Amino acid sequence: MRIVIHGFGRIGRVILRQILTDPAHADIEVVAVNDLAQPDTCAYLFKYDSVFGPLPGGVTYEDGRLHAGQRRIPLLTGVRMGDLPLNRIDLVLDCTGATKDRTTVEAALSAGAKSVLISGPSDIADITIVKGANEDRIGDAKVVSNASCTTNALAPLLRDLDARFGLIQGHMTTIHCYTGSQPMVDAPRGPDLARNRAGAVSMVPTTTSAAELIDHVLPDLAGRVTGAAVRVPAISVSAVDLVVRLARPPADAANALRDLADANPVIGRVEDPCVSVDMRARTESLVIAPNETLQTGDQLRIFGWYDNEWGFSARMLDVARMMHIRA
């Protein structure tokens, strides 16, 4: 599979790190990486990572290319998506978070790319796909959204809960690490006033797109699940705290969740009393903690962890492979 990574921020860099360090991705050829930042800065931020540590084997930038192990990857600066080297490219991974115009992705398709996968919620995508929830609907879509990290954590769990026990209604709170959308010191960033406060020193109540996206990904559950978020002073790994009412509640909820996790390849579980740092670089979309389960009648509380960068990037690569197979 031949790909171009368009946007070399947090997700773009983590995707490339997974490609370079996981032998399962040895068949992926990265034809080019493109970003707005200067190449030497991109190389430095790829070599040294505050969350995942230095890249094994190191990386240098020479002659317009990233040199990492045996790979020599052209590193481009500020090239528009339609002007990228897209001849015989299977997929563009759009990791900019800034593509809002359908003509932009159409230009990439016209330039030779077979398809485009967008790393976040998108109104211009043909469809939003979450592995473990609705991948059977991918069809021959050329422009796909990979939803959000929280939607990837929540949707497979909701699908399986509904199939096994009948979901009446639910509410999810994501306890989410701070991100680049928040300031490090109090500063104006937008209409959500709390999100203008320093992200690394306070818990910040805010909204999440996951509840709305669930209605698109799992239309059978539309209107039955609400959601909210609290941004917290952690640099990586987030959590889902979900309360649901079930039509057929299990007799032993914790063991039922163990069975659910074991049957779904994108859901893991952890039995030890862990904290968020223990979940760093887990590839699952969600890691359920069965021992945190609480049950009262038909009401069930479920808690799970997700690495909002590493797990989401792993799903990007999974969906990229689905799109390649169907191209």
In this structure, are residues 35 and 93 in contact, taking their beta carbons and an 8 Å threshold? no
Task: Give residues with Cβ within 8 angstroms of 202, minimum separation 6.
Answer: 233
Tracing tokens 């991705």 back to the chain, one arrives at 25
- Count CB atoms within 10 A of the CB of residue 26: 9
Instruction: Answer yes or no: 274 catalytic.
Output: no
Q: How far apart are CA 168 and CA 248, in angstroms?
A: 10
Helix (H, G, I), strand (E, B) or coil at 309: coil
Structure token digits, residue 155 = 């949707």
Task: Say which of 42, 95, 149, 177 is annotated catalytic.
Answer: 149
Looking at the DSSP bridge assignments, the partners of residue 66 are 61, 73
What is the phi/psi pair of residue 109, to 5°?
Answer: -65, -40
Q: How far is CA 224 from CA 44, 127, 158, 215, 247, in A?
A: 45, 21, 10, 9, 13
Helix (H, G, I), strand (E, B) or coil at 167: strand
Q: How far apart are CA 82 and CA 280, in angstroms?
A: 35
Tell me the catalytic residues.
Answer: 149
